Structure 1
């Protein structure tokens, strides 16, 4: 790769062709699209704007080469660009947090169906908020709601606060550093959580983008992947308001084990909602 691209090609089409070949060789999925996304980022435009560009200026070409090397090392695109889309929001990301996934939007869909009054003055708690994407997506849909996000990682809590400001929701969102809901007083009408749920032995089998770059602490669910759910089940009954619900993200194959844990702590399962791939993704429970 290095020998093939040591000089800046004058033609963007040639640059994209060479980059696509390098990404394909490195085993990056959708290499042509990835090359175009990197070029658009370097040129400070979008994919549509890239169609109007024939060459990259020297500074943009240097940025493209730097980011291409990062992507060839399987660094996620969102970490390279510094942001990603989630629901209707633009979410800043960093290596302190997991990158928001489209599958997690299933939780927002479940909330909207179970709490149909968009003007309800909900009190919301997001445990393990990460980027804040879940809490902020819900607050964007419920203009009278207020929410608190907690994360054990102070860098994540700070990023979530920046995302609240970035999406003009800071007045209704408090982002705190803390362990689970320690020191948090309920009750809450809605509790959200996308906890760590990957069994420890499975971590090294994840995609290199995940295992090399995303924070293991936010992925590792212990020996059976269920440690976080046991902790959540123990505190949810005391935190939920009468009639309130909790919506939790599930991992693959956890749509039987996690509901059983919740029932043991006196919680009633309302729904297990599948994502677009048919995987049970959003667990909805109440007292």
Structure 2
């Protein structure tokens, strides 16, 4: 039987596919063995059963052809949660945690609040907020039935009953409810972007990635409609591409938002733009 150390040598087979080949191999092996990464380091000479080795090599082949680790294992960590993921939604990314951080910062004094997460996918943003604020009421919506089912499953896993998941094309099924904060990580990639054929993105659903008008169409729609669903002095927070901050700021300004700002991610790119809605303010003033 092969040892842990011997199986980890397969990282060389991933070097042309992944910038984190060793990490990928460790995650796949841990998944097969149902062990933590610390086990691999503590017991490199541990023998791996033939069944586990066969499972590991099957998963490795999927990674070699580019399939994302999260889709192979069916899970991805986000905030403090281990979320189920599948090919019907985007894979939650660390940059998106900025939406959670900024919402918590802006509403730090609010014991109760109404929050809307548009295009929730796996439910990552909504469930992260719900896990931090049990007194908040959060609506998480997505147009894709498979995404709604996945978000419901993740909600049930953590018993986060302050979240309501519903199927909606952006605001269509929201009704007359108004919110303190609306957050969204909508599609924002230009359909002609060459990066769509590279890496994990090439396996993710295009409907969750691309938008017309150079990636701005959905951002524009949300900015234009959000005021009707925000309470007075409510906030709209939008994730966007690394080079779209100026354009999104302009969209929010045109839609009548004030206190417009852009927050940067860990790489120093403008990744989130937000603004405050004040009822009764004339856009043109």
TM-score (ref. length: structure 1): 0.91
User: Could you give the per-residue CA deviations for residues 248-286 of structure 1, whole angstroms, max 9, x where no partner exists?
Assistant: 102111110011011111122432110111111121211
Give 1:233-244 correspondences, 5 Å limit.
Answer: 233-244=223-234
User: Could you give the per-residue CA deviations for residues 28-69 of structure 1, whole angstroms, max 9, x where no partner exists?
Assistant: 212122111111111111101223361211221111011001
Deviation at 1:11, TM superposition (A): 2.5
Q: 1:104 to 1:273 in 2, by over 3 A?
A: same
- 1:59 and 2:51 aligned: yes
Deviation at 1:204, TM superposition (A): 4.6
SS of alignment partner, residue 183 of structure 2 = strand
CA distance in 2, matches of 1:99, 1:204: 16
* Residues 150, 157 of structure 1: 8 Å contact kept: yes
* Residues 200, 224 of structure 1: 8 Å contact kept: yes
CA distance in 1, matches of 2:236, 2:129: 13
Aligned to 1:20: 11
SS of alignment partner, residue 165 of structure 2 = strand
TM-score (ref. length: structure 2): 0.92
CA distance in 2, matches of 1:203, 1:138: 33
**How many pairs does the alignment contain?**
274
RMSD (CA atoms): 1.4
User: Could you give the per-residue CA deviations for residues 95-131 of structure 1, whole angstroms, max 9, x where no partner exists?
Assistant: 0000010001111111122111152x11111110101
Q: Which runs of 4+ in 1 moved over 4 A?
A: 203-206
- 1:33 and 2:23 aligned: yes
* Residues 14, 64 of structure 2: 8 Å contact kept: yes
CA distance in 2, matches of 1:78, 1:27: 15
* Residues 151, 179 of structure 1: 8 Å contact kept: yes
The equivalent position to 1:139 in structure 2, one of 108, 130, 134, is 130
Deviation at 1:209, TM superposition (A): 1.8
Aligned to 1:127: 118
Q: 1:175 to 1:203 in 2, by over 3 A?
A: farther
Which blocks of at least 5 consecutive residues in structure 1 are unaligned? 1-8
Aligned to 1:4: none
* Residues 152, 165 of structure 2: 8 Å contact kept: yes
Deviation at 1:183, TM superposition (A): 2.4
The equivalent position to 2:214 in structure 1, one of 193, 207, 224, is 224
Which blocks of at least 5 consecutive residues in structure 2 are unaligned? 278-285
